[in-house]
Amino acid sequence: MEKVFVPTDYFPVLVQSVVALGFVVVTMLATHFIGGKRKKFHTVRKDQNFECGIEEKGNARFPFSVKYFLIAILFVLFDVEIIFFYPWAINFKETGWDGLWEMFLFLGFLLFGFWYIIKKGALNWED
């Protein structure tokens, strides 16, 4: 006999979610109200970034070239594409000719994108 699950079977999941969320909220509120006066201890010198005791000069952040971001984000895209190839590779025989043409279509879309970024020069590392 097959086991049938009704929505009310998932009530414990709801209870667990409420308890987890409630614990976080209650703890944050309680510590905010019960905790010591942190505001009394703030001064300019205390809040500065730790610079081994010497004065800090300037901002730690600086602008950097966009090519790092482009390489990283293109890697993510093509890596996800490879992930999609894995199930097809395993079930290659079962998907048959239809699967092959569909995957070629999928690959075609992505190859078009690849050709586009090559033409745009996004992969050109040297300026």
Partner 1 sequence: MQMETGTYNKVDPPDGYTAPGIFATTLDKVVGLARKNSIWPLPFATSCCGIEFMATMGAHYDLGRFGAERLSFSPRQADLLMVMGTIAKKMGPVIQQVYIQMAEPRWVIAVGACASSGGIFDSYSVLQGIDKVIPVDVYVPGCPPRPEQIIDGFRKVQDLVGNEALRRRYSDEYMELLAGYGILK
Judged by the rule CB under 8 A, the positions of this chain that interact with partner 1 are 36-37, 40-41, 43, 45-46, 48, 50, 52-54
Least distance from C-beta 75 to partner 1, angstroms?
35
Nearer to partner 1, 43 or 65 (CB): 43
Least distance from C-beta 62 to partner 1, angstroms?
23
Q: Is 4 helix (H, G, I), strand (E, B) or coil?
A: coil
- Give CA separation, 66 vs 24, 63, 72, in Å: 38, 9, 10
Rounded to whole angstroms, the Cα distance separating 25 from 104 reads 50
Least distance from C-beta 56 to partner 1, angstroms?
10
Least distance from C-beta 23 to partner 1, angstroms?
24
Nearer to partner 1, 45 or 119 (CB): 45
Nearer to partner 1, 9 or 51 (CB): 51
104: exposed, middle or buried (C-beta count within 10 Å: 0-12, 13-18, 19+)? exposed
- Which pair of structure tokens corresponds to residue 104? 């070629």
**Closest alpha carbon to 70 in 1, 120, 18, 7:** 120
78 contact partners, CB below 8 Å, separation of at least 6: 110, 114
Nearer to partner 1, 48 or 124 (CB): 48
